[in-house]
Amino acid sequence: MLIHSIRLNNFKNHVFRQLDFSKQINCLVGNNGVGKTNILDALYYLSVGKSFLGNTDQNNILQGESFFDIEAVVSDEEKESIIRIQQALHSKKVIKKNNKTYTRLADHVGFLPSVIISPYDHNLISDSGESRRKFLDGMISQTDSDYLFNILQYQKALQQRNALLKSFHKNGYFDADSLDIYHHLLIKSGTIIHEKRKAFNQQFSPLVQKFYRLISNAGEEIEVNYQSDLWEHHFEEILTRYLERDKLLTYTSRGVHKDDLVFLMQGLALRKSGSQGQQKTFLISLKLAQMQMIRNVTGKSPILLLDDIFDKLDDHRVGQLIALVNEENFGQIFITDTHKERTQSIVRRINEESKIFEL
Binding-site residues for ATP, in ranges, read 30-37
Cβ neighbours, 10 Å, residue 172: 6
- 48, with CB counted inside 10 A (0-12, 13-18, 19+), is buried
Helices marked H in the chain — which ranges? Answer: 36-48, 123-126, 129-141, 145-171, 176-216, 235-241, 243-249, 270-273, 276-298, 315-327, 340-350
Q: Say what angle helices 276-298 and 315-327 make with each other, to 10 degrees.
A: 10
Contact 261, 136 (CB under 8 A): yes
Query: How many whole angstroms separate alpha carbon 359 and alpha carbon 351?
Result: 22
* Percent of residues in the chain assigned helix, strand, coil, to nearest 5: 50, 20, 25
What spatial distance separates the first Cα and last Cα of the chain, rounded to whole Å? 25
Residue 92's alpha-carbon distances to 7, 100, 192, in angstroms, are: 21, 16, 29
Annotated binding site: 30-37
DSSP conformation letters of 201-219: HHHHHHHHHHHHHHHH---
Query: How many whole angstroms separate alpha carbon 6 and alpha carbon 43?
Result: 8
Cβ neighbours, 10 Å, residue 334: 24
Mapped onto helix, strand or coil, the DSSP state of residue 100 is strand
Query: How many whole angstroms separate alpha carbon 205 and alpha carbon 223?
Result: 6
H-helix or E-strand spanning residue 222:
strand 222-227
